[in-house]
Structures are given as C-alpha cells and as structure tokens.
C-alpha cells in the first residue's frame, strides 16, 4: 500500500518511522510519502490560509495550494488514489472502516488546519477520485495530523506482514468475527504472581476450552461495563440472524 500525506507539519509524522510501521516501510510493505503543502504556494510568505467568506472566527485553508498538491501527488501513480479527509464533521472512523481502507492500493491524506479546508477542494477532487471525510471521535482537534496518525496506524496494522502474529489483529476489540465485536478482556504475562496479585488460574491450566470460555466471559463483562450499547447492538444482530434462519 502507498500512503501519501499532505500537511503543513511534515515533522508531525516522524512516529511513522518507528516500530511496526517503520519496519513495514523498510520491508516494502508500506510506502509512506510526506508532502509539505507549502511546496505548492507561490508567494513570499507561503500563504496557505485566508479569512472565511461570510465572516466568522479563524481562518480557512486556501483551495489553490491544495488543488495543485493533489494534482501533483496523484499524477504519478496509476493506482486509483482514495482521498481521506479527516474532519470533525466526518463519518465516524471504525475498525470496519479501517478494514475496508486496508484493502485499497493507495490512500492520500489531506491534513487540514485552522477551521478546515475550502469545501471546493473535496468537491474538485471527487471529480477524479473517491473522497472520504472521516472523524476519529466526538471532540475537536487542532488539525488533521493526529487523526491521520490514528487512521494510518489502524489501517497499516491490518496489512499482511505488518504484525508479527496476524492472529492478534483478528482478536482485537471491534474486529468482526473475533468474539463478535466485544471489547478485549484483561491480558497477563509472567510472572504468575506480582505484588500479591495472582494470574487467573484458568490461564495456567492448559485447558484451552476453559481459557476460551473465560476470555469470552471477561470480554462480555468488560463490554457490559464500558460499552453497554455494543451489547445491545450485538443482541439485535443475533436476533436478526435468528429471524433470518427461521
């Protein structure tokens, strides 16, 4: 997968040189390219923003640099680029969304700042490629970079070869099929006793059936405590599938 990131803060993405994603880049599994939006400005101050039409607080990112940047970044690769636009007003980003994005050959991230990017940029890009506006949560960040880091990490770890044990991606919380979108229960490792706390004995029993049952029970308890609404969704899905079978 090729990932292009257009931003006025390229240094924000130094973390993508580290750990799993850094290794995936070295292994050629992931091709991440950073682009400074200011490279497509032509004035002395490398201006990327201006006051909003209609008045109001803050500044809006100008369309011209974005148009030239997206033209340049998508011109050199035949694989159909998909433009990802992080924004507070986007559709909620979920694990299912990440799975879909992980199957794309190429993603281009447009990291906005200020009050956002002139709306004509997304409309113009949509004439040439799929455009997805997404939000990583119901809170307001200062720009799209943190959201892009979240999406790139979530998507990249689903790519074959990025995680040492592909199984662990399958058993993630929210991963469909693995304990049906329940939250992950507690995990333990050596030592078996630490500060007077014992590891649950079932995990040392070697009884894989008992371990699976315990883990499912703990996942249900965690989900009921922290995300009860997910259990309601799960029950509704179960009823729907039973009705389909009847």
Ligand X SMILES: N#Cc1c(-c2ccc3ccn(Cc4ccccn4)c3c2)n[nH]c1N
Residues with a known catalytic role: 88, 115, 157, 172
Calpha distance 154→167 (Å, rounded): 15
Segment contacting ligand X (CB under 6 A): 22-30, 74-82, 133-141, 185-193? 133-141
CB of 116 to ligand X, least distance (A): 5
Asked if 140 touches ligand X (CB under 6 A), the answer is: yes
Of the listed pieces 9-17, 25-33, 142-150, 193-201, which binds ligand X according to CB under 6 A? 142-150
From 147, 144, 167, select the one nearest 157 (Cα to Cα).
Answer: 167
Question: What is the total residue count of the chain?
Answer: 246
Tell me: does residue 112 bind ligand X (CB under 6 A). yes
Q: How far is CA 55 from CA 51, 58, 112, in A?
A: 7, 9, 19
User: Position of tokens 């309601």?
Assistant: 232
CA distances from 69 to 82, 129, 226 (A): 14, 14, 42
Determine which residue in the list 72, 129, 141, 211 makes contact with ligand X, applying CB under 6 A.
141
Name the one residue in this structure whose structure tokens are 């507690």: 186
Q: What are phi and psi of 117, to 5 degrees?
A: -100, 140
Report if residue 94 touches ligand X, rule: CB under 6 A. Answer: no
Region near ligand X per CB under 6 A, out of 102-110, 143-151, 156-164, 229-237:
143-151
- Report the DSSP beta bridge partners of residue 86: 134
Query: Which of 43, 55, 139, 190 is the binder for ligand X (CB under 6 A)?
Result: 139
144 near ligand X, rule: CB under 6 A = yes
Among 41, 135, 173, 223, binds ligand X (CB under 6 A): 135
Interface positions with ligand X (CB under 6 A)? 86-88, 90, 112-113, 115-116, 135-137, 139-144, 147
């Amino acid at each position: 997968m090729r990932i292009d990131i257009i931003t006025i803060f390229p240094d924000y993405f130094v973390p993508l040189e580290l750990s799993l994603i850094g290794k995936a880049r070295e292994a050629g599994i992931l091709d991440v390219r950073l682009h400074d939006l200011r490279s497509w400005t032509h004035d002395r101050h490398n201006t990327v923003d201006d006051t909003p039409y209609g008045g109001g607080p803050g500044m809006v990112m100008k369309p011209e640099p974005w148009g030239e940047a997206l033209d340049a970044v998508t011109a050199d690769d035949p694989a159909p680029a998909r433009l990802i636009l992080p924004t507070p007003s986007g559709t909620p980003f979920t694990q299912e969304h990440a799975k879909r994005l992980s199957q794309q050959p190429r993603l281009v991230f447009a990291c906005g700042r200020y009050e956002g990017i002139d709306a004509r940029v997304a409309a113009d890009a949509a004439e040439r490629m799929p455009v997805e506006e997404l939000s990583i949560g119901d809170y307001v960040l200062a720009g799209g970079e943190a959201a892009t880091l979240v999406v790139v990490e979530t998507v990249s770890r689903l790519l074959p070869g990025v995680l040492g044990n592909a199984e662990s991606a399958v058993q993630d919380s929210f991963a469909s099929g693995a304990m049906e979108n329940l939250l992950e229960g507690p995990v333990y490792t050596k030592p078996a006793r630490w500060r007077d706390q014992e590891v649950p004995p079932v995990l040392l029993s070697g009884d894989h059936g008992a371990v699976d049952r315990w883990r499912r029970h703990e996942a249900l308890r965690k989900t009921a405590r922290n995300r009860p609404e997910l259990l309601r969704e799960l029950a509704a899905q179960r009823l729907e599938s039973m009705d389909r079978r009847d």
